[in-house]
Structures are given as structure tokens and as C-alpha cells.
Amino acid sequence: MTSSRWSRSLAVAVAMAACGATVTMTTAQAAPKDGPEAAHYWTAERMAAAKPVEAKGARGGAGAGAAASKAVAAPKGTPKGTFGDGISMVGTFFSHSKVAGNTSCTGSVIHSAGHDLVLTAAHCARGMQQATDRIFVPQYRKGLDAAKQKFGAFPVQSVFIDKRWLKAADNKFGPESSLDFAFIRVGVNDRKAKIEDRTGSLRLTATPGPVNTVRVLGYPVGSSNPGQQAISCTVPTAQYKGWKQLQMLCGGYYGGVSGGPWIANWDAKRNTGDVIGIVGGYNGGGDRADDDWISYSPVFDGEIQNLYQAAVAGQDPADGLNTTPNPRPVLRESSGVWRHAKQLAAGDFGGQGRDDLLVAFDDGQVSLYPNDGNGGLGKDSTLKEENNPYWKGDKVRAIAGGPIGGGRAKLAVLWAGGKLSLFGDVGPSGLRKETMIGSYGEWKNARKIAITASGDLIVLWKDGELSLYSGVTATGKGKEKQLRPKNSEFAGADALAAGGFSGGSGTDLLVRLADGQLKAYPGTGRGGLGPARVVQGANASYTGTAMVLGGFTPGGGPDDLIVRWSDGETSRYDRPALSGLGDWSPLVS
């Protein structure tokens, strides 16, 4: 993981390759051994002596010289990784070249139709393009020849790297560092077995957002790990500020861990998990000070899916989906401010044909962020000043925007005292024309609200019952229809969002359950609750967040999802789908 993922000797080899590098495997000075015979070179002694691709300074282990002297102590409370046997689908790449010698890197087996793909970092994979005797050893054990390893050794056949990363003048510190991932196709071992059939596999999964809980594995080399065991650490992630990358803090991640998977939803009994990142990215996955306790990862989105599909098909990847792998945050406030953003609402409050974002902060301030029409949000207008006694703290239970009663979007506010208000005039000048829907107190057991595109009101009650009110006006709640009777699952739900993102007719209702799981109910409306679809599995990082669906990106089409995380970082998922939330970009870093 660290700043020095690269050795100076390997950099020379990389420079030689850069002139004519292709996305798939290039020809080395001597023809690589791609069959099972590639394992013959790798005796136990040669594997034990292999240097990490990024070997330099502190990444090499204790007492590493100048770079180590620049390293600083980890923040108090930073965990340290533990050494052990690792897991079957994570192991070590070994390769040999005349320039770099014998080198190693970490990789993980990813599920694919061919049962033959391994994920690693691009800066690991590029070295293999110019190497010979290239193998992958799952769950590597020191002291055994390659042929005698538990699962055997699998020869490298093809290398798939994003072209933009290969062509970038600065793919260590520039925006293309966010493309530091690669897929390696491996052949059968000497027992004629495909790798996934022997080891099992992990699921390649889009990074859900900046805040996750992951298990990070790798094989560090050096005096810090004389037994050359796998290091493991289960830690939370955060956004690497200013970059479309993640970071995690855990000590012991020295040279050799590059390409190691960041696994969410790890199930030890079933031996399954979701890979949402790898050790790589900025400076090869670590800071410039060469600290062993901080690691980075590229975000997994449409970019890596494009590369994955090319690897599955055995084709040259396209030039890429986006030209800016690191979009900058679009809102000026810090995460420290947005930590207090208690409620979010979306609606065409300005009458411009696009959704604006309205935010109620816990200090009583209410702000409106206008949609600039180009995928951004403009400077906010203060609708209610801070320390407003009516909007402060827990006085507001929920808010929702939508065309209740027709026309421009209005703001519905569910107050803790049991009142439901409708503000019919929302704009830079404030919140005006407040009326009360129903009698005071009758909404005291309501917990969350949402408004459909047709102006119907959806209400989640404390006992889990879900209701829809059609024909709502500024002074009346209309006709009630029960969408779901009381139940324990919805009783623990803590967020609702209504919009359209599945591509079908009607409203898509997104419900966040107590364990952070996101369930979608496409086609919800006056006909009833749509069929349940799991968009995001249980994820503790989603609990306690605020979320809203709205049309924030230009061009029309499906709604986008904005999520404010518990630490204040705020992200936008552009056009999520029932199959997953998809690409995300930072609004607040």
C-alpha cells in the first residue's frame, strides 16, 4: 500500500515498456513461460527472496533507511494488522525480469465466466507485461516450492490495464492514479484445474460510497513479516480528500501489499465477500511519507467494470468512460458543516424544470442549493437562520419535496409534535404559505415521509406500517391506502426516498433498513407496494445517514441519489439502478 509502491529498478523497466505498451500482455526480451512450467523456476528460496514491486524505504520493513526516517507515528488508536493464514482466494504474484529481478505483489481471485481472473493493481500488472516466469500462488506459504503450494501455481497468460493509466505522463500522482487497477488472466495449474474452481472467488462490486467497513489483506515483505504470512485488518474507510479514492488506517502494510483486496460483507462461513477496492491509487496506494499505516484505493465504478468486461471477453479495453477520474467536490462547505445536515429534500422549487436540494441543519438553519443545470449545485440561500427554535435539534422529524396539489414543488415537514406542514412557496426569499395537513397531533406516530412524482404522500409509521395518501392538498390529507401493514422490518427503517430510477412506470420507493440495507420497491403507487429488490446489502456505514432522490444531473432520465454520511462527507450516485447504486462522485469532501 504505500507511497513507494515502485522500486527504482522497476521504474526503469516501466519506462522501457511505456513507449509501446498495449493493454494486453506485451512481449518481453525472453518469451514468458505461460504454461504450468512457469512454476518450475519458483523454488521456495526464490519466492522467499522476491522483492515487492514497490520495495523502497519503510515499505520494505523496519530499518529501511532514509524513507523510514521521514515516516511519522500513526495517530493514537490506529489499529495494527494481524498475521495469519489468509484466505484461499487471496495470494501472491511472482514474476522475474532482468531489470527488476524477482518481484512480488498481492492479488485476489474474482468471479468470472471463465473462472480465471485475478484482480491486482495496475502498477503491479505492468511489471508483469515485461517479465517471465509469471505465476499466481493463492494463499502463499513460505517454505514450499510453487508446485507444492496448497492450490498449486497458476501461470499468467494475459494482462488487462486501462489505456489511460498506461499513457498518462504521471499515473502515480495525477488523476489517472484513480485507474490503478488491473485484471490478470491465469491458466490452469499443473493439475489442470482452473483457479476459481480450486479457491473460490470474491465478487467484484461497485464501491458503495466513501464510508464502509472492509477487511484488507495483503502479503507484506521485509523484516516486519519474516514468516511472509498474510496481513489482515478490518477497518472503516473514508474518502481520500480531493480524490476519487478511499483511504484506510492500519499499521503493518509494507511493500508487497499492493493489489490486496478491500473486502466488504466478508462471510467467513461461506467464504464469500465483495471486493470494493484494492491497495493502489495515489502513489501506488500510500502517502509520500512512506507510512505503513495509511493505504489508498481507487473507487470501483463504471471504469473498472469496463475493464472487467474486456478481460472476461479477452478484448482490448475501450479508452475509458470518463476523462476525469477525480471529479472535485461541488459544494463549498466542509464535512464538519455537513455533519449537521439532518434532513435532505429535493424538488423543483425554482420552477426551472430541474431539482434543487434543500437541507435542514440541526442548528435550525435551512438552506436551498439551486441546481445549476450542469450537474452542480450553486451557492445556497438561507431560508431559515441558525438557532431557529422551531427547526432546531429534533424538532423536525422528516422533510420531503414534491408536487403535492400540482404545480411547483412544495416542502412537506413532519414535526416531532405530530404536525404535518406544507410550505407552498419555497425559494431564495424563504419558506412561505405554510398550511397544516390534517389536525394537530394525528401524525405523532409518523416517522418518515416521501412524495411521489404524481404528488402522493407516502408515510412510514413507528410500527412499520406504510401508507399512501392520494389527492393530498394544502389543507387535506386525501384518501389513505395501506401499502404494507405493521411489521418489524419497516419498524426499524430509518429513511425513505421516492423517485424514479428503475426505468419503469410509477415511483420507485427506496427504504433503508436498520442494518443499512437498501431495498427498492419499483412501481409503488396507488396500486400498492412494488416488489422488493435489494439494491445494497446490509452495511453498517449506511446507518445514521441522510438520503434523497432527485434529478440533479443534466439530460433528464433516472433520478440520482444523494447520501450524507455520518462524518459529513456527502456523495451523489448518478442514476442508480435496481442492480446497485453504481458510480458516485463527491459533493462534500
Mean pLDDT within 35-40? 79
Any idea which of 16-20, 150-154, 357-361 has the lowest mean pLDDT? Answer: 16-20
Distance spanning both ends of the chain, measured CA to CA: 22
Cell numbers found for residue 202: 470474491
- Indicate if the pLDDT at residue 405 is higher than 90: no
Q: How confident is the model at residue 237 (pLDDT cuts 50, 70, 90)?
A: very high
Residue bearing the bigger pLDDT, 235 or 474: 235
Cell numbers found for residue 473: 392538498
pLDDT on residue 2: 42
CA 121, CA 162: separation in Å to the nearest integer? 11
Mean pLDDT within 136-142? 98
List helix spans (H) across 479-529.
Answer: 488-491
Cell numbers found for residue 269: 462461513
List helix spans (H) across 108-160.
Answer: 122-129
The one-letter amino acid code at 492 reads G
Q: How confident is the model at residue 71 (pLDDT cuts 50, 70, 90)?
A: low
pLDDT on residue 11: 34
- Indicate if the pLDDT at residue 121 is higher than 90: yes
Mean pLDDT within 217-241? 93
Q: How far out from the chain centre does Cα 70 lie? A: 31
Q: How confident is the model at residue 416 (pLDDT cuts 50, 70, 90)?
A: very high
- Indicate if the pLDDT at residue 374 is higher than 80: yes
pLDDT on residue 502: 87
CA 14, CA 97: separation in Å to the nearest integer? 11
Strand pairing class (507-512; 495-499): antiparallel
Mean pLDDT within 577-583? 81
Any idea which of 46-55, 62-71, 72-81, 305-314 has the lowest mean pLDDT? Answer: 62-71
Q: What single string gives the DSSP state of each residue in 82-107?
A: EEE---TTEEEEEEEETTTEEEEEEE
- Residue-wise pLDDT for 100-117, tens only, equals 899 999 999 999 999 999
At a CB cut-off of 8 Å and minimum separation 6, what does 159 contact? 23, 24, 25, 125, 126, 128, 129, 182, 183, 184, 185
- Indicate if the pLDDT at residue 575 is higher than 90: no
- Indicate if the pLDDT at residue 36 is higher than 90: no
The one-letter amino acid code at 146 reads A
- Residue-wise pLDDT for 485-503, tens only, equals 999 999 999 999 999 998 8
Mean pLDDT within 250-274? 95
Q: How confident is the model at residue 68 (pLDDT cuts 50, 70, 90)?
A: very low
Going by C-alpha positions, the residue among 6, 5, 23 that lies closest to residue 15 is: 6
- Indicate if the pLDDT at residue 31 is higher than 60: no
pLDDT on residue 24: 40
List helix spans (H) across 71-202.
Answer: 122-129, 163-167, 195-199
CA-based max dimension of the chain: 83
Strand pairing class (203-204; 272-278): parallel
At a CB cut-off of 8 Å and minimum separation 6, what does 2 contact? 54, 58, 59, 253, 254, 255, 283, 284, 285, 286, 287, 290, 291, 292, 294, 295
- Indicate if the pLDDT at residue 65 is higher than 80: no
pLDDT on residue 565: 84
- Residue-wise pLDDT for 43-63, tens only, equals 999 999 999 986 433 343 333
Provide the 8-state DSSP code for 529: P
Cell numbers found for residue 5: 509502491
User: 571 vs 5, 67, 125, CA distance in Å?
Assistant: 29, 35, 31
Spatial strand order of the sheet with 294-298 comes to 238-239, 245-249, 294-298
pLDDT on residue 397: 96
Neighbours of 149 (CB within 10 A): 23
Contact 71, 77 (CB under 8 A): no
pLDDT on residue 529: 96
At a CB cut-off of 8 Å and minimum separation 6, what does 353 contact? none
CA 27, CA 360: separation in Å to the nearest integer? 59
pLDDT on residue 7: 34
What is the 3-state composition of the chain as percent helix, strand, coil, each rounded to the nearest 5?
Answer: 15, 35, 50
- Indicate if the pLDDT at residue 323 is higher than 70: no
At a CB cut-off of 8 Å and minimum separation 6, what does 41 contact? 33, 96, 132, 133, 146
Max mean pLDDT among 87-91, 288-292, 476-480 falls in: 87-91
- Residue-wise pLDDT for 239-250, tens only, equals 888 788 999 999
Provide the 8-state DSSP code for 371: B
The CATH code for residues 335-588 is 2.120.10.30
Task: Give the CATH class of 8-313.
Answer: mainly beta
Q: How confident is the model at residue 324 (pLDDT cuts 50, 70, 90)?
A: low
Provide the 8-state DSSP code for 202: B
Element (DSSP H or E) covering residue 16: helix 8-18
Q: How confident is the model at residue 64 (pLDDT cuts 50, 70, 90)?
A: very low
pLDDT on residue 21: 35
What percentage of the chain has pLDDT greater than the value 70? Answer: 89
- Indicate if the pLDDT at residue 8 is higher than 90: no
- Indicate if the pLDDT at residue 325 is higher than 80: no
Q: How confident is the model at residue 26 (pLDDT cuts 50, 70, 90)?
A: very low
Total residues belonging to the chain: 589
CA 492, CA 106: separation in Å to the nearest integer? 40
At a CB cut-off of 8 Å and minimum separation 6, what does 69 contact? none
Residue 475 buriedness (CB in 10 A; 0-12 / 13-18 / 19+): exposed
Spatial strand order of the sheet with 356-361 comes to 341-347, 356-361, 366-369, 381-384
Q: How confident is the model at residue 33 (pLDDT cuts 50, 70, 90)?
A: low
pLDDT on residue 322: 58
Mean pLDDT within 347-357? 91
- Indicate if the pLDDT at residue 143 is higher than 90: yes
Strand pairing class (238-239; 245-249): antiparallel
Q: Which residues is 251 bridged to in the sheet?
A: 80
Q: How confident is the model at residue 574 (pLDDT cuts 50, 70, 90)?
A: confident
Mean pLDDT of the residues in the chain: 87
All structural domains of the chain with their residue ranges: 8-313, 335-588
